[in-house]
Amino acid sequence: MGRVLKCPFVDVKEAAKFLHLKQNTLQNMRWNGQGPKYRKHGRKVVYHRDELKQWSLRREEETQPRGKKASQNV
């Protein structure tokens, strides 16, 4: 039998859940040009799973105290 591929795109609801944000927060971030990269497939806003992970990792690095990297917090 054929292999079922998992779609790399998630909708706003799933993206918000993944990032532990409210959907409205994600929508506001998108409206203000902030937040993770998104795409529009027709009228539907979708996020690529890899982009969500990368955005989250960048946020971790941005919020570390000066002179410390996330990898130093072990």
**Domain limits, the chain:** 9-64
Cα dist. 74→37, 65, 68 in Å? 29, 14, 11
pLDDT (tens digit per residue) in 9-54: 999 999 999 999 999 999 999 999 999 999 999 999 999 999 999 9
pTM metric for this prediction: 0.74
Is residue 51 a contact partner of residue 37, using CB atoms and an 8 Å limit? yes
Other beta carbons within 10 Å of 19: 19
- The pLDDT assigned to 23 comes to 97
pLDDT band, residue 3 (cuts 50/70/90) = confident
